[in-house]
């Protein structure tokens, strides 16, 4: 079982992430069906599980600075735009790329920081285990390890933006 490690309050210039168009979209449904052992209800479809994701490499972003601020060695960084009406069903993260790059590392050191890029807007939600999160401020977020179940939804009228930073927790 994973652990919700810490709330985050990150003072950072997020404009780089928000200026990106986030044009390419893909459904998380096939990933969910491959990774999770529970079958989703038929009402989840390729049309309501879409995300627009942009991956950021070290050439475009200072991984070391971001890692210092978060207390982790950064392995991957992505921004996700969820358009109104979209959801990420109940799941836990498997950290595929981080595990692939660090096959012998202690699994409890592998973490994800999920950070909100804008202040909360009506209809935007994140649920972590039994806790429904809303009314956040830009730069707030949470860090968790593998095994922490969560979901995300945009039931509002404006796009929802988050930053996902995965890597290894520093000692």
Higher pLDDT, 100 or 35: 100
Query: Exposed/middle/buried for 149, CB within 10 Å: 0-12, 13-18, 19+?
Result: middle
Mean pLDDT score, 11-15: 94
98-136 residue pLDDT tens: 989 989 988 889 999 999 999 999 999 999 999 999 999
75, 120 Cβ separation under 8 angstroms: no
Q: How many domains does one find in the chain?
A: 1
Scored b (16 or more CB within 10 A) or e, 26-36 reads: ebbbeebeeee
pLDDT at residue number 39: 82
142, 128 Cβ separation under 8 angstroms: yes
50-71 residue pLDDT tens: 999 999 999 999 999 999 999 9
Task: Give the predicted TM-score (pTM) of the model.
Answer: 0.93
> By residue range, what is the domain housing residue 115?
4-169
116, 10 Cβ separation under 8 angstroms: no
84, 154 Cβ separation under 8 angstroms: yes
Spatial separation of the C-alpha atoms in residues 143 and 165, rounded to whole Å? 9
* For residue 4, pLDDT beyond 80: no
pLDDT at residue number 1: 61
3-state secondary structure of 34: helix
CATH number at residue 115: 2.60.120.10
């Amino acid at each position: 079982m994973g652990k919700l490690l810490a709330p985050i309050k990150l003072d950072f210039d997020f404009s780089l992430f928000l200026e990106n168009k986030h044009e390419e979209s893909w459904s998380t449904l096939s990933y969910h069906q491959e990774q999770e052992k529970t079958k989703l209800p038929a009402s989840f479809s390729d049309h309501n599980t879409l995300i627009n994701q942009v991956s950021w490499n070290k050439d475009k972003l200072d991984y070391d600075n971001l890692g210092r601020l978060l207390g982790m060695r950064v392995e991957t960084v992505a921004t996700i735009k969820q358009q109104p009406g979209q959801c990420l069903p109940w799941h836990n993260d498997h950290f595929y790329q981080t595990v692939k790059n660090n096959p012998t590392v202690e699994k409890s050191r592998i973490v994800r920081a999920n950070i909100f890029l804008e202040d909360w807007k009506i209809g935007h939600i994140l649920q972590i285990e039994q806790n429904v999160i809303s009314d956040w401020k830009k730069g707030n977020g949470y860090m968790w390890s593998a095994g922490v179940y969560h979901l995300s939804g945009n039931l509002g009228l404006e796009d929802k933006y988050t930053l996902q930073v995965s890597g290894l927790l520093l000692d």
